[in-house]
Amino acid sequence: MPKRWEVYPGKSQVLCSGRCISAKNLSVFYLTLALIVISSCLFLAFDCRLLAVTLSPSVPVLAAVQFIFVLCCLLRTTFSDPGIIPRGTPDEAAWIESQLEGPQVDRDGNYRPPVRLKDVQINGRVFKLKYCFTCKLWRPPRASHCSTCDNCVDRFDHHCPWVGNCVGRRNYRYFYLFLISLSVYCLYVMVFGIVNLVLLAFFSIWSVVGLGGFHTMLICRETSTNEDIKGSFNQRRHPDLINPFDQGNGLANCCYVLFGPVTPSLLNFREDEIGLGSSISLVTNNGRNGTVSAAAASTAVTATPAVRYSNLTRNNNDATSNSVGHVNNSVQVISESLPAQLPGDGNDVIVKNGNGAPADGVISGGTDAVGAQNSNTQSASSVHCIV
């Protein structure tokens, strides 16, 4: 004798030997299940580790309880009978259909299908009951036939693919509780996920944002960190001191510091390094400290060294006085304090060896050149050739 579930005629899927019933196509339901389970596992495994320690161990416990409740509601919605009305027996069908008006051909020769409606008064209101030919029954009010599952379902709400079953009278409360509990659970996970992020990022936010804010303040005040530490322009310590570099208002300071003129590098590392004389040690950034011999210096001198200050010339004729051939954009510095004729005019820099010639190759004005003549040529003054 077969069990009733074995001869069930609809399109639903019967599982667990008749204990469960669902729609045939459960692929979207598996997606729903996967989304819930995977995000819950990630939350419990990662976020809850920090939250249990910093906040309270009840955070993951509550999350687990909610997760189990959501799953229970979802599984009940999916696998329970939504309120399927069992199909009428053949005898019932014969009895009902014998009472229906049969198909008729009216005077015009038009075919009229059998009437399958009957009127019923429900609390004063006329309601049309339909006869379901598939299920062989008068469909109760609020029942509807689901074409996906091929059943009449009592108080039919809708067929939900996410849940993989019809939602009807018997499983509507589970469906609704699933929605509500899942909403609450989602909010819970979201809130504690954000809390977790905030806790993790707290220190980095504090240090980086704090530091950024501090430097913004410094820029607005046209102060450097060093000056701030020393309190050079601290109004509280030295009330009469004003910051002479302050341009007046914070915005102007910002503009100048951030968008002001960009000074080019004065190192010119890509240029050839030139020797400058016996007593002169060339100190360059790569640590090369070459002491040029007197002989070499003389030859170097006669070779008209091209050591030069890029922004100090008598006139604009840079190219001719420059044996290296570099054309630099020298700015003509016209200084009233300059003597009429600089020593060694025609060359940018005169570097002479220690015999009565200026050993100091620095030209910053006439006075220095004169002074250089008197300086001790053996002094190991280092020339910073900033070329």
Which of the residues are catalytic? 160
Query: With binding defined as CB under 8 A, does residue 72 bind another protein?
Result: yes
- Tell me: does residue 123 bind another protein (CB under 8 A): yes
> Longest Cα pair distance anywhere in the chain, in angstroms?
141
Stretch that binds another protein, among 70-78, 284-292, 318-326, 328-336 (CB under 8 A): 70-78
> Which is closer to another protein, CB of 69 or CB of 162?
69
Pick from 18, 102, 212, 371: which binds another protein (CB under 8 A)?
A: 102
Looking at beta carbons only, is 91 or 336 nearer to another protein? 91
How many residues appear in the chain?
387
Q: Which amino acid is at 217?
A: M
Per-residue x/- mask for another protein, residues 300 to 339, rule CB under 8 A? ----------------------------------------
Phi, psi of 21 (to 5 degrees): -145, 140
The binder of another protein chosen from 3, 142, 230, 384 (CB under 8 A): 142
Site pattern 144..163 for another protein (x: CB under 8 A): -----------x--------
86 near another protein (CB under 8 A): yes
- Alpha-carbon distance of 156 to 176, in angstroms, equals 14
**Residue 89 interacts with another protein (CB under 8 A)?**
yes
State the amino acid at position 203 in one-letter form.
F
State the binding string over 171-210 for another protein (x if CB under 8 A, else -).
--xx--x---------------------------------
Q: Which among 37-45, 71-79, 202-210, 214-222 is the span making contact with another protein, rule CB under 8 A?
A: 71-79
Residue type, 321: S
Structure tokens at 341: 């004729």
Choice from 81, 97, 246, 271 touching another protein (CB under 8 A): 97
Binding of another protein by 235 (CB under 8 A)? no
Q: Which two tokens stand for residue 278?
A: 């016996």
Selected from 29, 43, 79, 138, the binder of another protein by CB under 8 A is: 138
Q: Does 64 bind another protein (CB under 8 A)?
A: no
Shortest Å, Cβ 140 to another protein: 6
Q: Applying CB under 8 A, what is the total number of residues that bind another protein? A: 41
Question: CA 126 → CA 37, 48, 100, 119, 350, distances in Å?
Answer: 48, 58, 19, 6, 118
Interface residue list for another protein (CB under 8 A)? 68-69, 72-73, 76, 85-95, 97-98, 100, 102-103, 113-114, 120-123, 127, 129, 133-134, 136-138, 140-142, 155, 173-174, 177
